[in-house]
Structure 1
Amino acid sequence: MAPPFRAGVDARLGVANAAGGVHGRKVTYAARDDQSASAVNFTSARELLTTDQVFGMIEASAEASGSSAFLHDSGIPVVGIAMDPTWASNDNMFSFTNIMAKNSTVSVWGDFVATQGGRRALILKRTASAASNILATKFASSLQAAGVGVVGNSEISPLMLVPAVLGEEIKAIKADTIIFAMDTESAYRIVAAARLAGAEIRVALVPPDGYDPRALHDWGSAISGTFSYVPITPFEVSAPVYRGFFNAMASYAPQLKPPNQAYAVEGWIAADMYLRGLAIAGTCPTRAGFISGLRSVQAYDAEGLLPTSLNISTSVGEIIPCLHFVQVAPDGTHFTQVTPTPLCGRRLATDD
């Protein structure tokens, strides 16, 4: 798992263990890096079960499908960030970030682009990435449902990317919106190049990991006005729970600088959800008890860190309908919250 995500996990478990653990037992973990490879994801999961004898999994991988069938058939509870559709089709997998599910999407992205004046959208996705291709399809359906035209749905290889050339192409097709189903670093390079080429971009929408103070340091005003959609409550909201989060990060994950990184919050929430499942499973927990117990929760908001309350009992196969949107300030030094409350879309059927 990425360092910010792991730091969030460490902080949440640190708080729990300092308070006596779960039913008097401290919670520890073993970790593996699947190197973003499906085969390694499978062998890593198998090693964690057979060698480390873990009870369950906290996962943040784009290759979760590598082990999902194995973990489902083995009855292993899995909590984490949903980066591919497998999270929506397995009842042992729990996520608060699911934006990909078979045969459905939500209107929230298209609704947002339309309210910002976007009319001609170019979707850019990573070449040879099934997850990126699926997400791009969801974006297209969402945009079209909001009356936003899709003028292109193109594959990009980060290794072969020539931003200046792509910037000129974006200008030529008169796209006023770019929505990215690919890595944020490439997205910011493309946004900067399109602007230098003179493209009139109303909406540039990058993935949640674009909401990162390190990006402001690296890019500054070159990415001013860029939007990110985020499945968490923004730091700009005065949420009391963030006081506890920052105190915990300082105590149990001081190495992460700065601590106000969305991925760290997602790690915290994943660990919190895992702890919730353990607590429900009781003093002598079983994996089946964890899964059925956590699956019975009808209202979960991570003490205000999620945009809206999540009904875990009905979340299998569903995309989260509500997101926050943040924007890079004109001077590129900070983020601003676009709306005071999360934007919630309607669910849409898709043919995929």
Structure 2
Amino acid sequence: MAHRQVWRHAAAVASVALTSAIVGCSAPAGSTGSTGTTSCPSPGVSKDAIKVGLVYPDSGPLSGPFKTVRAGVEARIAKQNAAGGVGGRRIEVTWRDDESDPSANLTAARDLVENVGVFGLLEETAVASGSASYLADKGIPVAGIVAESVWGQYRNMFAFAYPYTTGPSVTTLGTYVAKAGGTRAIMVVSAVNPSSHGVAEKDAASLRSAGVSVVGQVSYAEQVTGSQVVVDAARDQQANVVVAELSGDALATIVQALRAAGISLKAAVGPDGYDRSLLGRYGADIAGMSVYLTTPSFQAQSAALDAYRAAIATYAPEQADAQQETTLQGYITADLFVRGLEAAGPCPTRAAFLSGLRAVRDYDAGGLLAQPLDMTAGFGQLNTCYNFVRVNPAGSDFDVVPGGAGPGGQAWCGHRIEG
């Protein structure tokens, strides 16, 4: 999830230029101005509050993968409010269900902007393409989880990772696979999510940069295509690596089938599957399966993770398990939105949010990211640093595979492949 599978994809193709000028405002006579307790002529901003919308799939086929994201958002916002909000203003969140559907996503966004009057949106969904053009036209600040290429098209949309990009690939995955002894790879792409093909293209380039041959590609429809098609391709091409741009369940099913067929793998890697429930269902059958993350592994020891867990326990106690990737992603994207509000100044406007957050060069979500992000240059670009976790031989837990970079030496960092 960060690379969750998109069930229905609505591509937005318009490119919108947004103003970068910071729009100032004057405090009325008798107000305190710089304390943030004055009213500003900006939608969603009052004397003591800032209205923010949250759109996520509370129903529909995506509701399962995204079910914990709201807890992460609410915990981070509540933590900020407990510390005095932003500029003395509390952040008030109103949520809407986009039903896992692009058209419902547009309806939800319109309602929040035009009827509720929010300042900006958190789009924690895989169908944000439904409202992307509308929100860009109006210059609405958006932060969220990237599950579609549309996030790299509109500069009003902010994220901490861009798996879908038209920019260059990076060497990181290739280095990891080559270090594991991989030499011949099969790519497995989704038959129903065209965006997965773009991710596979970048991952294939990364593998080749490290001398790993890409010997085949298999189209796979979850719950429709049998894993035997991957087994046959791996056997025919003598592959010892599988890279799957699929859900964690699908990757686990494929790894289990390859093991049962007696095919020995040096690496089986995907962007999704860091989920302890998979260990309970598959156990040792998925030993060696790896997942790459832009966020830290929950096995890591860090002050940033401790602060995150404390926030979940304090402000979202209904989310009993903070060890869920989407909960953490919701927390980080809410933190990113807070950073944008802080960058917008004492009288926040939408234009000031956009230009202010795009000027940030060292965003790291309080230490929760594998690498600090330069928002001035990283728009729509793949991250160069990732954390890797691998299922242990007993299939009972995920082990961190240290790469020697980043906090605690855990991250694997590469460079962009130009040309």
Instruction: Report if aligned partners of 1:167, 1:195 keep a CA contact under 8 Å in 2.
Output: no
Instruction: Report if aligned partners of 1:321, 1:346 keep a CA contact under 8 Å in 2.
Output: yes
Instruction: Report if aligned partners of 1:280, 1:293 keep a CA contact under 8 Å in 2.
Output: yes
1:299 CA displacement? 0.6
Aligned residue number for residue 316 of structure 1:
379
5 Å-filtered alignment, 1:148-167, equals 148-164=212-228, 166-167=230-231
Give CA-to-partner distance per residue, 1:293-329, whole Å, 9 cap, x none.
Answer: 1111111111110011111121223221111111111
Cα distance in 2, alignment partners of residues 10 and 303 from structure 1 = 17
Give the partner amino acid of 1:343.
W
Aligned residue number for residue 281 of structure 2:
218
Give the partner amino acid of 2:238.
K
- Between stretches 13-22 and 264-273, larger displacement belongs to 13-22
Of the three residues 100, 120, 134, the one matched with 2:184 is 120
Aligned residue number for residue 338 of structure 1:
401
Aligned residue number for residue 135 of structure 1:
199
- SS of equivalent to 1:227: strand
Cα distance in 1, alignment partners of residues 229 and 352 from structure 2 = 55
Aligned residue number for residue 9 of structure 1:
73
Cα distance in 2, alignment partners of residues 257 and 12 from structure 1 = 16
Instruction: Report if aligned partners of 1:167, 1:196 keep a CA contact under 8 Å in 2.
Output: no
Give the partner amino acid of 2:342.
A
Give the partner amino acid of 1:55.
F
- SS of equivalent to 2:390: strand
Aligned residue number for residue 247 of structure 1:
310
1:169 CA displacement? 4.1
Instruction: Report if aligned partners of 2:168, 2:416 keep a CA contact under 8 Å in 1.
Output: yes
5 Å-filtered alignment, 1:53-72, equals 53-72=117-136
Aligned residue number for residue 257 of structure 1:
320
Of the three residues 332, 336, 342, the one matched with 1:279 is 342
Q: Does 1:147 align with 2:211?
A: yes
Cα distance in 2, alignment partners of residues 133 and 37 from structure 1 = 21
Give the partner amino acid of 2:311.
A
- SS of equivalent to 1:124: strand
- Between stretches 251-260 and 307-316, larger displacement belongs to 251-260
Q: Does 1:305 align with 2:365?
A: no
Point out the structure with the larger helix share.
1
Cα distance in 1, alignment partners of residues 360 and 87 from structure 2 = 19
Cα distance in 2, alignment partners of residues 39 and 144 from structure 1 = 39
Cα distance in 1, alignment partners of residues 324 and 286 from structure 2 = 18
1:38 CA displacement? 2.7
1:349 CA displacement? 4.2
Cα distance in 1, alignment partners of residues 75 and 226 from structure 2 = 40
Report the TM-score, using the length of structure 1 for normalisation.
0.94
Give CA-to-partner distance per residue, 1:70-121, whole Å, 9 cap, x none.
Answer: 2111101111122222222322111111122214221211221111111111
Cα distance in 2, alignment partners of residues 40 and 171 from structure 1 = 44
Give CA-to-partner distance per residue, 1:21-78, whole Å, 9 cap, x none.
Answer: 1122221222233333333322222222112222111122222222222211110111
- Between stretches 297-306 and 158-167, larger displacement belongs to 158-167
1:129 CA displacement? 1.2
- SS of equivalent to 2:95: coil
Instruction: Report if aligned partners of 1:164, 1:197 keep a CA contact under 8 Å in 2.
Output: no
1:277 CA displacement? 0.9
Aligned residue number for residue 111 of structure 1:
175
Cα distance in 1, alignment partners of residues 368 and 192 from structure 2 = 34
1:343 CA displacement? 1.2
5 Å-filtered alignment, 1:171-190, equals 171-190=235-254
Question: Structure 2 vs 1, CA of residues 318 and 176 (structure 1 numbering), >3 Å: closer, same or farther?
Answer: same
Give the partner amino acid of 1:342.
A
Q: Does 1:196 align with 2:260?
A: yes
Cα distance in 2, alignment partners of residues 342 and 71 from structure 1 = 35
Instruction: Report if aligned partners of 1:132, 1:181 keep a CA contact under 8 Å in 2.
Output: yes
Aligned residue number for residue 145 of structure 2:
81
Q: CA RMSD in A?
A: 1.7
Paired-residue identity, %: 37
Cα distance in 2, alignment partners of residues 343 and 142 from structure 1 = 13
- SS of equivalent to 1:210: coil
Cα distance in 2, alignment partners of residues 241 and 103 from structure 1 = 30
Q: Does 1:94 align with 2:158?
A: yes
Of the three residues 45, 51, 58, the one matched with 2:109 is 45
Report the TM-score, using the length of structure 2 for normalisation.
0.79
1:127 CA displacement? 0.8
Q: Does 1:232 align with 2:295?
A: yes
Cα distance in 1, alignment partners of residues 169 and 84 from structure 2 = 41
1:164 CA displacement? 4.4
Give CA-to-partner distance per residue, 1:211-230, whole Å, 9 cap, x none.
Answer: 12222222221211111000
- Number of corresponding residues: 349
Question: Structure 2 vs 1, CA of residues 294 and 170 (structure 1 numbering), >3 Å: closer, same or farther?
Answer: same
Instruction: Report if aligned partners of 2:175, 2:207 keep a CA contact under 8 Å in 1.
Output: yes
Instruction: Report if aligned partners of 2:400, 2:410 keep a CA contact under 8 Å in 1.
Output: no
Cα distance in 2, alignment partners of residues 123 and 35 from structure 1 = 31
Instruction: Report if aligned partners of 1:171, 1:197 keep a CA contact under 8 Å in 2.
Output: no
Question: Structure 2 vs 1, CA of residues 301 and 51 (structure 1 numbering), >3 Å: closer, same or farther?
Answer: same
